[in-house]
Amino acid sequence: MKTIYFDNNATTQVAPEVFEEIKPYFADLYGNPSSMHTFGGQVGIKIRQAREKVAALLGCDPAEIIFTGCGTEGDNTAIKGTLAAHPNRRKIITTRVEHPAVLSVCRDYENLGYLIVELSVDKKGRLDLAELESHLDDNTAIVTIMYANNETGVVFPIEKIAEMVKSKGIIFHTDAVQAVGKIPINLSTSNIDLLSISGHKLHAPKGVGVLYVRKGTRLTPFMLGGHQEGGRRAGTENVPGIIGLGKACELAMQNFEQENKKVKFLRDKLEKGIISKCSDCMVNGDEENRLPNTANISFEFIEGESILLMLDRFGICASSGSACTSGSLEPSHVLRAMGIPYTAAHGSIRFSLSRYNTEQEVDFTIEKIPPIISRLRELSPFVKK
Ligand code: PLP
């Protein structure tokens, strides 16, 4: 049975071009980029080139790129490194819909006596910028707000937010793990100080990420040890991962508009096809400001997990929440923050597409879903028969 992969916000297929590029670094070219000899030095050159490619996609200086182990590390480093560098400021502002890589770090600081402000969202998952502005003060060390939501795809007005935060002299971090490669980002014209990326969300391997740190931003290193990454992140580099991420950024740049247009067309077709054929279902999130690849749909009165199991029989992979929250019986914290009723939040499914999906896959899925939903509703104790 062929796999139909609609779970790209959880992780993506490594691009074949990326795989080809990194193969030699697992086998023949195993040198340490910090070595003095030519054998290691040639690897160092490839890392420099990868840094340039990431910087080109983001519109920043290569010196502003720190390679990390994952998106979670970038988020942790941004928050912890900023708080350590500004010990007199004791307040963090974030949102209720962040990924746990941000939210759990902030809540941990609450236990250490910090004041944490978690901004609310409306029923479409949108922020109220006046609420944000009312909390900015001299005690605020960092504002950390995601670029795009991993569950609903809702995109926040990050440039506007960064400008507002910067005008008060406060550090601004954004978790752009879901945004990079899907929507344009240009750091050369932005007020963002810190931005995190994860390789495996944009067709690079797992185990690599980036933290962008604007020149002049004070950040205490999180990992101490050797002099890698200019002393800002110790540890021997994940050479194939970094080279792969560089290649993935190059690919994202080459085909940016064309591919995201295609992905949006497929997402819209899938979403409309499902909504038009199933009763009592709705799209979650701000349809006007959304990633082109994400559809989050609630099917009333049934469990998302049951839908997933039935889709799985046809080889269709989707998700019933973020990769990290599925497995728990609690409905997603993001949908709860949006005030989605429990009966709908429990039956929510996220479809997240990539450049590798096809129209045939979308058509096949649109055909399979309505009978699944009808069957589950017949079994549901919440549906009047
Ligand atoms: N931030 C967001 C918005 C995410 O979606 C994810 C992963 O799902 C992460 C952070 C964590 O990234 P990583 O898996 O690379 O640690």
Vertex 24: Cα angle to 21 and 28 (nearest 5): 165
Q: Tell whether the model's pLDDT for residue 39 goes beyond 70.
A: yes
Run of H or E including 118: strand 115-119
Q: Is 12 in the pocket of ligand 1 (CB under 6 A)?
A: no
Average pLDDT over the chain reads: 96
Q: Tell whether the model's pLDDT for residue 46 goes beyond 90.
A: yes
In the structure, what pLDDT confidence band is assigned to residue 278 with cuts at 50, 70 and 90? Answer: very high
Q: Which atom of ligand 1 is nearest to the CA of 70?
A: 15
Separation CA 132–CA 199 (nearest Å): 30
Q: Which atom of ligand 1 is nearest to the CA of 198?
A: 15
pLDDT tens-digit series, residues 71-104: 999 999 999 999 999 999 999 999 999 999 999 9
Mean pLDDT of 145-156: 98
Instruction: Judge whether 209 and 196 are in contact, CB under 8 Å.
Output: yes
Instruction: Judge whether 55 and 65 are in contact, CB under 8 Å.
Output: yes
Mean pLDDT of 49-57: 98
**pTM of the shown model:** 0.96
- Nearest Cα residue to atom 14 of ligand 1: 71
* pLDDT for the residue numbered 328: 58
Q: Is 198 in the pocket of ligand 1 (CB under 6 A)?
A: yes
Strand, coil or helix: 93: strand
Q: Tell whether the model's pLDDT for residue 259 goes beyond 90.
A: yes
Separation CA 320–CA 7 (nearest Å): 10
256-379 placed in CATH 3.30.56.10: no
Q: How far, in Å, is the centroid of ligand 1 from the Cα of 378? A: 36
Higher-confidence position of 327 and 133: 133
Q: Is 178 in the pocket of ligand 1 (CB under 6 A)?
A: yes
pLDDT tens-digit series, residues 349-370: 999 999 999 999 999 999 999 9
- Nearest Cα residue to atom 5 of ligand 1: 150
Separation CA 322–CA 144 (nearest Å): 19
Listed by start position, the domains of the chain span 16-254, 256-379
Q: Tell whether the model's pLDDT for residue 322 goes beyond 70.
A: no
Q: Is 81 in the pocket of ligand 1 (CB under 6 A)?
A: no
Q: Tell whether the model's pLDDT for residue 324 goes beyond 90.
A: no
Fold of 16-254: Aspartate Aminotransferase; domain 2 (3.40.640)
Report how far apart, in Å, the C-alpha atoms of 39 and of each of 31, 204, 246 are.
6, 24, 20
Residue type for position 138? D
In the structure, what pLDDT confidence band is assigned to residue 114 with cuts at 50, 70 and 90? Answer: very high
pLDDT tens-digit series, residues 10-25: 999 999 999 999 999 9
Q: Tell whether the model's pLDDT for residue 251 goes beyond 90.
A: yes
* pLDDT for the residue numbered 385: 72
Closest by alpha carbon to 377, among 313, 283, 310? 310
Report how far apart, in Å, the C-alpha atoms of 217 and of each of 53, 169, 172, 174, 295 are.
22, 11, 10, 14, 36
Whole-number percent of the chain with pLDDT over 70: 98
Separation CA 229–CA 220 (nearest Å): 13
**Catalytic residue at 324?**
yes
- Nearest Cα residue to atom 8 of ligand 1: 10
Q: Is 177 in the pocket of ligand 1 (CB under 6 A)?
A: yes
In the structure, what pLDDT confidence band is assigned to residue 255 with cuts at 50, 70 and 90? Answer: confident
Pocket test for ligand 1, best of 201, 203, 319, 326 (most atoms within 8 A of CB): 201
* pLDDT for the residue numbered 321: 64
Q: Which residue among 70, 278, 281, 324 is the active-site one?
A: 324
In the structure, what pLDDT confidence band is assigned to residue 384 with cuts at 50, 70 and 90? Answer: confident
Pocket test for ligand 1, best of 149, 158, 178 (most atoms within 8 A of CB): 178
* pLDDT for the residue numbered 325: 47
Mean pLDDT of 276-299: 97
Q: How far, in Å, is the centroid of ligand 1 from the Cα of 195? A: 13
Q: How far, in Å, is the centroid of ligand 1 from the Cα of 120? A: 21
* pLDDT for the residue numbered 323: 39
* pLDDT for the residue numbered 329: 66
Q: How far, in Å, is the centroid of ligand 1 from the Cα of 299? A: 26
Residue type for position 360? Q
Run of H or E including 195: strand 194-198
